[in-house]
Amino acid sequence: MPRHFLRDDDLSPAEQKEVLALALELAGDRFAKRPLEGPRTVAVIFDKSSTRTRISFATGVTELGGSTLVIESGSSQLGRGESISDTTEVLTRMVSAIVWRTFGQERIEEMAATATVPVINALTDEFHPCQILADLQTIAQHTGGLADGEAALAGRSLAYLGDGANNMAHSYLLGGATAGLDVRIAAPASHRPDPQILARAEEIAATTGGRITLTEDPREAVTGATAVLTDTWVSMGQEGEDGRGEETFAPFQVTAELMGLSGGLFLHCLPAYRGKEVTAEVIDGPSSVVWDEAENRLHAQKALLTWLLEHPDDATAAHAR
């Protein structure tokens, strides 16, 4: 069985540290690993739009010695109703890994159930775990990097403001808890995280020394936070939904005043909407590390691909859930 990366807790705390350590190494030496030499092919499939994910996987696979096959699902038979299992059967006979951006998490779980090569979640409605690896790498880079080969993230704090029920919030909960971070989510009562994911994050945090806080008070969340993060108020597929405007989220806009309470870094997975979830003053200001964060998608995903290909059928697999 291959190892997959479908959600943040598919890597144990120790495994996440290994991937982050490799990501930081690759940021310094881009061609240190060539696991896809051959070249081997990685399929990258998009059911939704993408800029960063598309560029970073295509570039990353090339730098690992491989070749990328980017498929817009609308131009494939998957987009015309061919089943996920039939598509998976064909893919896994030819490619060395599958990266998929899709809608419901159950779709990628279905693919992984029969895939004989690693399947990587490139964003679903529920999670965006590749992004969180890049974000953790960025925080480590800007706050002291690694100590003895381990990501020195434990004890640091991350405050996420905005839509607490979206893929980024869920991944910050699971990935942040795995890293031993103090994760604070400030969201309106109408957009709270999925209770099961919240409970899972608390369970992980109890083993890593992390902490989980859910609040409706953005000031409480950001005070003293190592990093303040936000995301669009309208995720892909949510366009036109009621209750996604300023009437709901305005108090959670990341402003210079909130950044002053934090004194830390500003991160945003991008794309960003200036004047909505963050002011231009913040995202274009001195505390913003969003371009390093975007670049780290490349290094983090190369590290992840390398790690997954090096750990097939690993007995220490983290699939506790």
Binding of ligand CP by 131 (CB under 6 A):
yes
Nearest C-alpha neighbor of 293 from the set 137, 63, 91:
137
Give the Å distances, CA to CA, from 204 to 14, 51, 184, 299: 12, 32, 15, 25
Site for ligand NVA in 260-289 (CB under 6 A): 269
Put residue 275 in one of left, alpha, beta given phi > 0 → left and psi -120 to 50 → alpha: left
CA distance 130 to 277: 21
Put residue 137 in one of left, alpha, beta given phi > 0 → left and psi -120 to 50 → alpha: alpha
Q: What mask, x for binding ligand NVA by CB under 6 A, covers residues 147 to 186? A: -------------------xxx------------------
Cα radius of gyration rounded to whole Å, the chain: 19
Alpha helices in the chain (DSSP H): 13-28, 52-63, 84-92, 105-114, 129-142, 167-178, 195-208, 218-222, 246-249, 256-262, 280-283, 290-310
Of 45-53, 217-225, 275-283, 310-318, which part binds ligand CP (CB under 6 A)? 45-53
Under DSSP, the state recorded for 6 is: S
CA distance 267 to 289: 6
Query: Which residue's CB atom is positioned nearest to ligand NVA?
Result: 235
Is 163 annotated as ligand-binding? no
Q: What mask, x for binding ligand CP by CB under 6 A, covers residues 270 to 309? A: x---------------------------------------
Binding of ligand NVA by 96 (CB under 6 A):
no
Binding of ligand CP by 53 (CB under 6 A):
yes
CA distance 75 to 8: 29
CA distance 80 to 178: 38
Of 76-84, 136-144, 230-238, 240-248, which part binds ligand NVA (CB under 6 A)? 230-238
CA distance 45 to 97: 11
Of 32-40, 49-57, 110-118, 155-163, which part binds ligand CP (CB under 6 A)? 49-57
The entry of ligand NVA, ligand CP, none near residue 4 (CB within 5 to 8 angstroms by kind) is: none
Least distance in Å: CB of 173 to ligand NVA? 14
Among the listed residues 236, 273, 292, 314, the single contact to ligand NVA using CB under 6 A:
236
Choosing from 8, 269, 299, 301, the catalytic residue is 269
The entry of ligand CP, ligand NVA, none near residue 51 (CB within 5 to 8 angstroms by kind) is: ligand CP
The values of phi and psi at residue 124, to 5°, are -125, 180
Active-site residue list? 101, 128, 131, 231, 269, 297
Which residues form the interface with ligand CP (CB under 6 A)?
50-53, 123, 131, 269-270
Q: Which residues are annotated as a binding site for carbamoyl phosphate?
A: 50-53, 77, 101, 128-131, 269-270, 297
Question: Which stretches of the chain bind ligand NVA, using CB under 6 A?
Answer: 123, 128, 166-168, 231-232, 235-236, 269
